[in-house]
Structure 1
Amino acid sequence: MGLIGKVIGQTEIKSDGHLFYESWRYRPNQISYMSPGNMQGVEIYEGEWGTVGCRMIWSYTFGGEKKVTRDIVEAVDDEKKSITWKLVEGSLLDLYKTMIITVDVDTKGKSSVVTWTFEYEKLNEDVEDANALVDFHLVMTKDIEAYHLRQK
């Protein structure tokens, strides 16, 4: 078992994939309304929503515990509907030396496919792979889908 890892999770959504992407890019502060059991809030402390270099603080509940993480938006690709964040501070960095999170939304067809990718380096061999983080984000994806479907 190595220290460097990558885990990927995918799910299909029936709600508007463009709207899902825009929620993460331009309105991540509203995700706490869409998935309140998981996300309690997001604030910017540098930059503007949806721009490379934007720095945010995420407050969330993971594994039954309240957590806080700071990240920076590293890449945005509107054509591919992809956003990449790099964690720079917070509880996850107690386990991982580095963590890069990417969400991609494939909007071809009647439904969309959301893909979450976590690339990381663990601090030591005892740290679990990031599968639970993928599952957490897939649950939020389904919460956001349900929220958007109710808004139609």
Structure 2
Amino acid sequence: MGITGKLEIEIDIKHSGDVFHELFGCTPHHVTNIVPHIIHGCDVHEGEFGKPGSIIQWEYTLDGKKCVAKEIVEEIDEEKKLIKFKLIEGSDLLKDFKSMSVTLHVVTKGEIDAILWEINFERFDDFGLYPTGLMDFIIGMTRDVEAHHVK
């Protein structure tokens, strides 16, 4: 029996969180134009961008290694400004993890918005690393997207 867990980070941003919700919910392929140094491709394989049930393939560099992963868009909640993806294929992450999902949630704190990223995972066993490298990647990407939109 493996370990289930959750990593969570909340990042305050200098502009509206609506930008992140729109970008990752409806137009994730635009991320490649904003952070081409770490995300090299984003294509829809089934369905269409912005629709739950769609399958998206990402090409990216994680820890210096080129990776490809497919995910299914499980949920897009406009009211809650929440998007949930489940990793279904590819990536070195699935070698160590039985399942993994990533959630982006825009949180309004008074006059400041924050991006809450959550990684839920289940390991095959009790040994090995946790997806901290992926969380570091997400933090860096968030800061790069923010810097792009603050300009």
Q: TM-score, normalised by structure 1?
A: 0.92
Matches within 5 A, 1:62-73: 62-73=62-73
**How big is each residue's C-alpha offset from its partner over 1:45-93, in whole Å with a ceiling of 9 and x where there is no partner?**
1011111101010000000000000010011111111000111101211
Q: Which runs of 4+ in 1 moved over 6 A?
A: none
Q: Distance in 2 between matches of 1:60 and 1:22?
A: 20
Identity of aligned pairs, percent? 37
The residue identity in structure 1 corresponding to 2:28 is P
Q: Is the 8 A contact 2:106 2:116 kept in 1?
A: yes
Residue 129 of structure 1 aligns to a residue whose secondary structure is coil
SS, match of residue 128 in structure 1 = coil
**Which residues of 2 match residues 119-138 of structure 1 at below 5 A?**
119-138=120-139
Q: CA deviation at 1:142?
A: 0.6
Task: Structure 2 unaligned segments of length 5 or more: list them.
Answer: none
Q: Aligned equivalents of 1:107 and 1:8: distance in 2? A: 16
* Alignment check: 8 A CA contact 1:10 1:138 kept: no
Aligned to 1:50: 50
* Cα distance, 1:4 vs structure 2: 1.0
The AA in structure 2 aligned to 1:96 is F
Q: Map 1:1-152 to 2 at 5 A.
A: 3-91=3-91, 92-150=93-151
Unpaired segments of 5 or more residues in structure 1?
Answer: none
2:52 is paired with a residue whose SS is coil
Task: State whether residues 62 and 133 of structure 2, in contact with CA within 8 Å, keep that contact through their aligned partners in structure 1.
Answer: no
Asked whether the equivalents of residues 9 and 135 of structure 1 are also in contact (C-alpha less than 8 Å), the reply is no
SS of the residue 1:107 aligns to: strand
